[in-house]
Amino acid sequence: MCWELSGCTPVVTEDLKPTEQEPRLVTLLAIRTLNSQGRKSVPGDHETACLGGPSRIGISSGFLDSTAMNPIIGITSRQPVIKTSGGELEAHVVNRVYTEAVIRCGGTPVLLSPVAPEEAPRLLDRVDGLVLSGGGDIEPSFYGGKLHDDMYSIDPVRDEFEFALVRAAQQQRKPTLAICRGLQVLNVALGGTLIEDIPSEIGSTDHAVHGPDVVDCHQTVQIEPDTLVAAAIGATEACVNSIHHQAVRQVAPSMRAAGWTSDGVIEVLDPEDHTWPLLAVQWHPEYLAVNDDEASLALFTSLVAEASAVAEVR
């Protein structure tokens, strides 16, 4: 089995019997795993700085006592096929760069695997903030689009679950950070549409960086000043990493386009109602945070700060 631990990489413990799966053991396994992977920070042992401010990573104390935990940030997951002792099986996973960015900025990350859409609001009630993570393309029939040869990893179950999360987050005014696919999910869930493939429609190939270069910025985004993203990063221009072949076409009624690259591709959405603390970006700040990019860390800092306010009254 794999336990989705708050504040660490999931630890595979397939050989444990049910009676042996105790939190204390899982915590020790997590710390041991992180040490073996060369992590600079071990839960409960060190502090890390997010934009110069110390953020305590406390799994050994907070994991067993929910009142001592930092705000809980739910992160949506994808479902690849992985090799296990039982053969090739589907799994729910989140790239580690997401969890590390949340931890670094003072949050406690948990993985959200799809449930029935009608259960999404109740699930969202259990977390203080939400990260709509990146991943594969959205089923085009959900926005009146057409299949394209370059579409990949389409997962309608994930789509419908995340649409429900978006609508619940809007209703609950839940602090939300929508990243890449997450911005597209947001737009489609609220009535917008997508460009099925940027290179074939617009002709631009500037949004297709992959491999080691994803942790570096290569494209400039101009951001409207009166937006939540501009307020969070303290700037109206950002150097970003574009890793997407789709983009917003028609903006959802409750959103507005608020940031663009030089080729006209929408890179930021902003809610018309700023009482919803929503940050929606088409790039990948979780990768840029690896290189201490201040604007990227500021997005996660803002999310965690808003989530902290939710946690205080929950």
Tell me if residue 50 is catalytic: no
Nearest to 291 by CA among 182, 212, 222: 212
* Residue 154 DSSP label: -
Strand pairing class (247-248; 237-240)? unpaired
Question: Which of 23-37, 133-147, 267-281 has the largest mean confidence?
Answer: 267-281
Catalytic residue among 100, 162, 286, 306: 286
Catalytic residue among 180, 196, 207, 217: 180
Class level of CATH domain 70-192+273-313: alpha beta
Tell me if residue 274 is catalytic: no
pTM of the model: 0.78
Catalytic residue among 105, 267, 284, 306: 284
Question: For 153-185, what is each residue's pLDDT tens digit?
Answer: 779 999 999 999 999 999 999 999 999 999 999
Q: What's phi and psi for 303, nearest 5 deg?
A: -60, -50
Q: Indicate whether 33 pLDDT > 50.
A: no
Beta strand ranges found along 200-271 (DSSP E): 219-223, 237-240, 247-248, 255-260, 266-271
Amino acid in the structure at residue 278: L
Question: For 50-69, what is each residue's pLDDT tens digit?
Answer: 543 333 223 323 333 444 47
Tokens 């839960």 -> residue? 43
Output the CA angle 126-132-135, nearest 5 degrees: 135
- The pLDDT, as a whole number, for residue 243 is 78
Which two tokens mark 141?
A: 């029939």
Confidence of residue 294 (pLDDT cuts 50, 70, 90): very high
Which two tokens mark 128?
A: 């203080």
Which two tokens mark 78?
A: 């994808």
Confidence of residue 212 (pLDDT cuts 50, 70, 90): low
Q: Which of the two residues, 208 and 14, has the higher pLDDT score?
A: 208
Tell me if residue 284 is catalytic: yes
Q: Indicate whether 73 pLDDT > 70.
A: yes
- Say if CB 201 and CB 195 are below 8 A apart: yes
Average pLDDT score over residue span 15-25:
31
Q: What is the mean pLDDT of the chain?
A: 79
- The pLDDT, as a whole number, for residue 173 is 98
Q: How far is CA 85 from CA 3, 10, 14, 79, in A?
A: 16, 17, 8, 18
Residues, the chain: 314
Question: Which of 46-50, 243-247, 258-262 has the largest mean confidence?
Answer: 258-262
| Bridge partner list, 12 | 2
| Residue ranges of domains in the chain | 70-192+273-313
